[in-house]
Amino acid sequence: MRRQYFVHYYKDFGNTYNLLYADTEEALKAVPAGAERITRKKAESLAADENRRRKFGPGYASNAIWPADETEEEEIFWDKHFEKVGYIMERRTK
């Protein structure tokens, strides 16, 4: 399955969103209702925008693109089974 990218706005503000990707059928089923499918370029642009906003204040949006079938972003960030490649949290193959 080809990887698909999504943005999910979880509040009524423009800077409160989660960036997700789905590369399996199980992950695609885990995408939240109301999530909008976007391109990889747009997802990376939104992550970069959040990084710029965090230089001047607290962040409310994702600054990385996470697997849709994983629930806790903070746990993934410290999990040895994932590595950040650019803006994308990739599963390690080893």
The 10s digit of each residue's pLDDT in 33-52 is: 999 999 999 999 999 999 99
* Residue numbers in the chain where pLDDT is lower than 70: 71-79, 94
Pairing of strands 66-67, 17-22: parallel
Number of structural domains in the chain: 1
Phi/psi of residue 38, nearest 5 degrees: -135, 175
Domain limits at 46? 4-91
pTM of the prediction? 0.85
Question: Could you tell me the CA-to-CA distances from 20 to 1, 47, 53, 55, 68 in Å, in that order?
Answer: 15, 11, 19, 23, 5
